[in-house]
Amino acid sequence: MTHALVLGDNINTDLLHPPRFFAADPEAAAQGFLAGLPPELARQFSPGDILVGGRNFGCGSSREAYIRAFRAAGVACVIAHSFSRIFYRNIINAGIPAACHPTLYQQLPQGAAVQFDRTAWTLQRQETGQVIALEAPEAHLRGILDAGGLLAYLGLETSHALRC
Amino acid sequence: MAASTRLEALLTQRLGRSVRAGEVVEAPVDLVMAHDATLALLIADFERLGLSVWDRERVVVTCDHFTPPARIDWANLQKSVIAFTARHSLPGLRMYEGICHQLLLEDPRVTPQSLVVGADSHTTLVGAVGGFATGLGATDILACLARGRTWFRVPESIPIILTGTRKPWVMGRDLALTLLAHFGEEGASYQALELVDHTEDTLSMDSRAAICCMAPEMGAKAALFIPDAVTSAFLAERDHADPLIPDSPLYPYTNGESLQIDVDTVDSLIAQPHSPANIVPVRQAAGVRLDQVYLGSCAGGRLEDLAMAAAILRGRRVARGLKAIAVPSSVTVMRAAMARGYVQALLDAGVCISNPSCGACGGIDKGVLAHGDVALTTTTRNFQGRLGPPDSAVYLASTATCAASALTGYITPPDMVWEEAITREVDHDARLGAGR
Ligand code: SF4
């Protein structure tokens, strides 16, 4: 079972991945995953978990070092009230699902056990059985996600195993 | 039906069909920019996929973020970027010449008709000359390098009309902070700011660049100034040729209300830690003790900024023990600042001049903060941990506010140190075209 790490509004890229961890090497970049957040909060994330945030999630830098860190950390999906535009493009280009929900970040208890369904675009809470409908990205972006990322979508890449 | 915003008009012309806000379009781009920190992220994939660059003449690669590199791993990254430009015979490599967006602003290929994408969020700065410029991540840029085109959702535009007369110490940066106070960190999300300059003295291109640069902090996809006489004069001087300015520069903006800003009512503002939209009048933050004052970045550090700093600091000394740093935004800017004596004035005042680059702005080069440091800067962002450890704090303000505060070592409204002589020097420089 995966868990949700619940964050607030305006979670910027310097909190998600501080600039001092900038690196092209995925292993080095992975060191900075959530390193700008309070350590006791960041420690609750395990591979395969999802991130839930509020307004303007991912505002700030365009540098995809954080995408490497997200991949290495095994972020299964990000759900937010709204996303900052470059972050939104980047995460979908990387093939990591991003969905919107206006109030999930205010309702969901920290660490709640959840199951994300990427075909139905729903989130199920284990404890209550409640199925929460999410707002999926528009068709064009779902196409990119279904292909496994932008490079595969454009036919620049044939395998789904992106390394970037 | 005619386009109702400048961006619709620009994309309509480019695609040869009527384009409306809200649709998703794929458009060819004129220039692709990537810098040492973002290009480094896509090289391995680009080479693994065996791709080639769609048009070598339309790629600008800057070495500005690690400049020169202070760490071996960053030197290695930069080396890979330089090698990439050699492998693909890219003539557009700009080594240590300045900040990527400033170099685009100085590039004759950037015109009011341009569509420019850059692997950096602050590419919006380039809209100061009137075109469409926006930032993308490394993967989008990788695809763009290979294909010369990318997709956009055509943004709705927010018209912003500026009127009135500025106080002599109020700079473009203060107007950017005014907009940030209005929009907050996401109030302009996915939209474009279209600014019309009807102010009495008109804003210089440097001030316009400072405003367009800060658009992403409001969530905006792009920002542009409707081309006017300032634009023509700037392009004529830059390109030594008669500029091509689009006709009927004013659009009716039928899609909604415009935002009117009377600059008479604007005084110096400051963004408090840890958000660029946490805005108060400088007066309200006055007295906060500073460890560092930093002038530079793509939101400051232009000729107009150095002229202002020199005018305030000339014949004076920065506060004892304060780390005062100025980083010109490009080599061209630095040369002009040297020719006009600004560099000398700043050195005499005790300011450390660093080489044209991003410097401490990105938190990955020289000038980063120590534990507990409080800094006042002209940089773009004051997110927690951007310029130093999480317990450091950054305030953002105009060059005038930063220079005034450097004198006292405390946050200081510029009018408190202002004298007639400063007004005279600033006016004189403006006539020389210091800020163009
Ligand atoms: S000066 Fe700062 S904001 Fe501008 S490109 Fe460099 S790091 Fe980014």
Residue-wise pLDDT tens digits, B355-385: 999 999 988 888 999 999 999 999 999 999 8
Q: B290 and B195, same structural domain?
A: no
Q: What is the pLDDT of residues B13-41, one digit of tens each?
A: 999 999 999 999 999 999 999 999 999 99
Ligand 1 pocket, residue B99 CB under 6 Å: yes
Distance from CA of B186 to the nearest CA of A (A): 6
Best interface-test mutation with A: which of B297, B383, B392 has the largest number of A CBs within 10 A? B383
Half-sphere exposure of B289 (CA within 13 A, CB side): 4
Q: What is the pLDDT of residues B108-125, one digit of tens each?
A: 999 999 999 999 999 999
For a mutational test of ligand 1's pocket, the pick from B99, B214, B217, B357, i.e. the residue with the most ligand atoms closer than 8 A to its C-beta, is B99
Cα separation of B3 and B321, whole Å? 56
Please give the helix or strand (H or E) that residue B143 lies within, else none.
helix B138-147
Q: CB within 8 A of A115, min separation 6: which ones? A: A1, A2, A123, A124, A126
Across the interface, of B48, B143, B364, the residue whose CB is closest to A150 is B143
Inter-chain CB proximity B41 and A164 less than 8 Å: yes
**Listed residues B204, B228, B263: the one ending a domain:** B263
Percent of chain B with pLDDT over 70: 96
Question: Per-residue pLDDT for B248 more than 90?
Answer: no
Same domain? For B277 and B241 the reply is no
Indicate if the pLDDT at residue B49 is higher than 80.
Answer: yes
CATH topology of domain A2-153: Aconitase; domain 4 (3.20.19)
Residues B200 and B320 in one domain: no
Q: Is the pLDDT of residue A78 over 80?
A: yes
Residue B251 has pLDDT above 50, yes or no: yes
The answer to whether B138 contacts A63, with C-beta atoms less than 8 Å apart, is yes
Considering the domain architecture, whether residues B257 and B279 belong to the same structural domain is answered as no
Residue % of chain B over a pLDDT of 90 = 90
Confidence of residue B257 (pLDDT cuts 50, 70, 90): confident
At residue B254, the pLDDT reads: 57
Neighbours of B420 (CB within 10 A): 8
pLDDT digits (tens, 9 = 90+) for B285-333: 999 999 999 999 999 999 999 999 999 999 999 999 999 999 999 999 9
Shortest-distance Cα residue to atom 3 of ligand 1: B380
Q: Which domain holds residue B92?
A: 6-263
The answer to whether the CB atoms of B38 and A151 lie below 8 A apart is no
Q: Are residues B39 and B183 in the same domain?
A: yes
For all residues of chain B together, what is the average pLDDT?
Answer: 94
Regarding whether B288 and B202 lie in a shared domain, the answer is no
Question: Do both B37 and B153 map to the same domain?
Answer: yes
Judgement on whether residues B182 and B310 belong to the same structural domain of the protein? no
Residue in chain B closest to A93 (alpha carbons) equals: B139
Residues B259 and B272 in one domain: no
| Whether the CB of B100 sits within 6 Å of ligand 1 | yes
Residue-wise pLDDT for B339-359, tens only, equals: 999 999 999 999 999 999 999
Dihedral (CA of B72, B78, B80, B83) sign: negative
Note the pLDDT of residue A162: 45
Last residue of a domain, one of B206, B237, B263: B263
Same domain, B321 and B193: no
Q: Which atom of ligand 1 is nearest to the CA of B362?
A: 7
| Residue to test with chain B: of A64, A67, A68, most B Cβ within 10 A | A64
Last residue of a domain, one of B226, B243, B263: B263
Q: Tell whether pTM > 0.90.
A: yes
In a domain, B187, yes or no: yes
Q: How many CB atoms lie within 10 A of CB B23?
A: 12
- Per-residue pLDDT for A160 more than 50? no
Q: What is the mean pLDDT of residues B90-97?
A: 98
Per DSSP, chain A holds a count of helices (H) and strands (E) of: 8, 7
How is chain A split into domains, by residue range? 2-153
**Which residue has a Cα nearest atom 8 of ligand 1?**
B362
Q: In 3D, which of A28, A123, A138, A25 has the Cα closest to residue A78?
A: A123
- Ligand 1 atom at minimum distance from B297 CA: 1
Whether B151 and B296 map to the same domain: the answer is: no
Whole-number Å distance between alpha carbons of B69 and B36: 10
Q: Tell me if B361 CB under 6 Å of ligand 1.
A: yes
Structural tokens at position B346: 């700043």
Pair B134, B75 in one domain: yes
Give the count of domains, chain B.
2
Instruction: Tell me the average pLDDT of chain A.
Output: 93
Q: What is the CATH number of the domain that holds B316?
A: 3.30.499.10
Interchain CB distance below 8 Å, A156 and B51: yes
Q: Which of B41, B43, B217 sits opposite A63 (nearest CB)?
A: B41
pLDDT band at B255 (very low <50, low <70, confident <90, very high): low
Of ligand 1's listed atoms, the one at least distance from the Cα of B296 is 1
CA angle B285, B189, A134 (to 5 degrees): 120
Pairing of strands B292-295, B323-326: parallel
In a domain, B1, yes or no: no
